[in-house]
Structure 1
Amino acid sequence: MSVPDRAVFEAAYAGKAPWDVDGPQKAFVDVADQITGAVLDAGCGTGENALFFAGRGCKVTGIDFLAEPIERARRKAADRGLKATFLVMDALALKDVPEVFDAAIDSGLFHVFNDEDRRRYVEGLASVLKPGGRLFLLCFSDEEPGTQGPRRVSRREIEDAFAEGWTIERIEPSRFEVRSEEEPFRFSPGGPKAWFVTVLAT
């Protein structure tokens, strides 16, 4: 990510980030039975999704490129008596991770990357997922009006990103849950429109 991106996210975490809701995103709860074993949460933020799966018995590793949300995630894990690993790490360096995972989740990270970094990110995910492992991805949709917030992603862009080495199992309309009371942006009623994607590493 670029320095301006870092500044934007650091500013967001100086308070309560709009996407930092109290609990896991519903899209992941709905498919929880499909996410088992060793799980990577890429761009985990303060850890709500990661801790949800840790509470279900998964061996979870969450990564984020900022120290502040990782520290919050570690405190939440301690407070809740849950075991999870949280690391300050750039998601573009996944190839350096020695572990391989049964599943990976991404809630709002994929859509922050430019085209070149997106390719690097997807290649990194392929390197840390076991063959037959799945990525569960929630990203902003191009069906969300306006330009505020993160980059919108089209179905075609998702298909192109996972064209080689992956099998796309589904791309479905979904929603992000956000903290509306602290959100300076105005998104669609019910939360920003999103895509929920499941892809199989082949």
Structure 2
Amino acid sequence: MSATNQESYDELYRSAPAVWSGRPNAQLVAEASGLTPGTALDAGSGEGGDALWLAERGWRVTAVDFSPVALERGAAAAAARGLADRIEWRHADLDGWTPPERSFDLVTAHYLHATWTDRDRMFRGLAAAVAPGGTLLVVGHLLDESSEHEHGHGHRHEPGALYTAGEVAAVLEPESWVVVAAEERDRDPDAAHRTGNPVPDTVLVARRTR
């Protein structure tokens, strides 16, 4: 991912004491609440709302983001909530960083809408990080490429940054995965109101069988 992407996100995070609500994403809550806590990778963790929620429920989390500003904010929140020993905050660019294979019981990625050198390679790397029996959860904004989308805080997604659950599912090896859901879901009303983005989510849930 280009340095411009990182700089724009650093600028975004510096623009306010908290850019996001600090609450977990609704699709994560829906899919992970019934899972047995284990190890989790939060890819594109931002300020850490999802990582904090998982850690509070007994998960050991690796939270990865390319914005050091966001990671510092997440680490401070974890320390304040007594969760510092349950979350590793890793500064890495998913465009080049490859997570360890078959290492996480849950890999979750929400709204990874950036310009990737090779988006399929990035998603294959996230899928490869899921341990046998584990879960892959990928969520995005359901928008067509002609749509203009700008969050309420003024951050605009670049052309080519969007994806569908079906496109992510297509990179999975059929003999190793069961696709539980690849569908459109209504966005959480509170999140839609706060961000000014009412469009639905595109959601992939898949289980690794081997």
Q: 2:50 is paired with a residue of what secondary structure?
A: helix
- Tell me the distance in 2 between the aligned counterparts of 1:89 and 1:136: 20
Q: Is the 8 A contact 2:101 2:131 kept in 1?
A: no
Aligned twin of 1:135: 136
Q: Is the 8 A contact 1:92 1:121 kept in 2?
A: yes
Aligned twin of 2:78: 77
The unaligned stretches of length 5 or more in structure 2 are: 150-155
Instruction: Give 1:196 shift.
Output: 1.8
Matches within 5 A, 1:1-202: 1-16=1-16, 20-31=20-31, 32-34=33-35, 36-82=37-83, 83-95=86-98, 97=100, 100-109=103-112, 111-114=113-116, 116-142=117-143, 146-148=147-149, 149-150=156-157, 151-162=161-172, 165-174=176-185, 175=187, 178=191, 180=193, 183=195, 186-188=196-198, 192-201=199-208, 202=210
Q: TM-score, normalised by structure 2?
A: 0.78
Aligned length: 194
Instruction: Give 1:120 shift.
Output: 1.8
* Structure 1, 82-91 or 68-77: larger mean CA deviation: 82-91
Q: TM-score, normalised by structure 1?
A: 0.81
Instruction: Give 1:136 shift.
Output: 1.0
Q: 2:131 is paired with a residue of what secondary structure?
A: strand
* Structure 1, 143-152 or 129-138: larger mean CA deviation: 143-152
Change (3 A) 1:77 1:95: same
The unaligned stretches of length 5 or more in structure 1 are: none
Aligned residue identity for 1:198: V
Instruction: Give 1:143 shift.
Output: 6.4
- Tell me the distance in 2 between the aligned counterparts of 1:17 and 1:167: 41
- Tell me the distance in 2 between the aligned counterparts of 1:18 and 1:187: 18
CA RMSD of aligned residues (A): 2.8
